[in-house]
Structure 1
């Protein structure tokens, strides 16, 4: 996005993300930091459109309700645009595997040779891409996001589950 006053503001994007405080556990400062970074990265650059044609930009409120991630989407002025519930069950194995690989990766950084670190990093990125593609599929017909936005949303979903 540019600062040129002649350029209209992009409407197919998120301008705010809020997490329901009751849905997330407050464990460590590191976990809180990871969530903040995930939100910051997502807001920096994203493409987010509703399939029903409601114009943006949008505000997103995420809430976990009975093992579902609720996407409460509002327009810039706060007007309700849609609510969509996404089952988290299909993500369980990917998230679990992702955390295991991340744990191994961070441990390897301390003492393993570069070849081991690179292999773990490739596995980590592969699982992240798998989660991203699954998220795009699960949002299809409701919310349209590009790959990078889905990737950042998957990072946020992981950050919501990270116990630290």
Structure 2
């Protein structure tokens, strides 16, 4: 990724709460965090150079981006209404459950691939929506937006 070394996330904090409903979902969340920390572009408008720590949470129907410095000092909090994401999150969860069921029940390869294509399409749509909603406030690349959307879906599953 072409991120300046400082315009990135160095740490992601998610609320400690009930585990995700399946090991598959937990692995998806863990992989998204690992991939994000390996490579990302996160450049909040008007903030001093990073790297940054991001405390990501859901509260009262809002997605909270609590951006902090690496010493965990608050820099800025962004709140996005969750409403525009609800349909995508619901559809994404249904497709992920279908994929998990097909894999664990030994479904045929072509149906698993078709489900996976649908999952990727919803994932991409969620990433594009997240990037649009953050436009002008946080600059991110597509892969960072995809991984953050995975975490938004994981947070939503815990509600």
Which residue number corresponds to residue 138 of structure 2? 143
Report the counterpart of residue 39 of structure 1 in structure 2. Answer: 33
Shift of 1:78: 3.2
The CA RMSD measured in Å over matched residues stands at 2.1
Deviates more, 1:58-67 or 1:128-137: 58-67
Change (3 A) 1:139 1:102: same
- Structure 2 residue aligned with 1:65, among 59, 70, 82? 59
For normalisation by structure 1, the TM-score amounts to 0.83
* Separation in structure 2 between the aligned mates of residue 41 and residue 160 of structure 1, nearest angstrom: 17
Label 1:146 to 1:99 Cα distance change in 2 as closer, same or farther (>3 A).
same
1:84, 1:12 → 2: CA distance?
A: 17
**Residue 92 of structure 1 corresponds to which residue in structure 2?**
86
Q: How do 1:106-121 and structure 2 match up within 5 A?
A: 106-109=100-103, 110-121=105-116
Quote the Cα distance in structure 2 between the aligned partners of 1:106 and 1:113: 13
Contact 1:63-1:70 within 8 A present in 2 as well? yes
Aligned length: 154
**C-alpha spacing 1:123/1:154, structure 2 compared with 1 (3 Å):** same
Q: Give 5+ residue unaligned stretches, structure 1.
A: 2-8
Secondary structure in 2 matching 1:157:
helix
Q: 1:154 aligns with which of 146, 149, 157?
A: 149
> Whole-Å Cα distance in 2 between the matches of residues 61 and 133 of structure 1?
21
2:96 maps to what in 1? Answer: 102
Q: CA deviation at 1:100?
A: 0.9
**Larger-gyration structure (1/2):** 1
Q: Which region of structure 1 is more displaced relative to structure 2, 108-117 or 43-52?
A: 108-117
C-alpha contact (below 8 Å) 1:102/1:124 kept by paired residues: yes
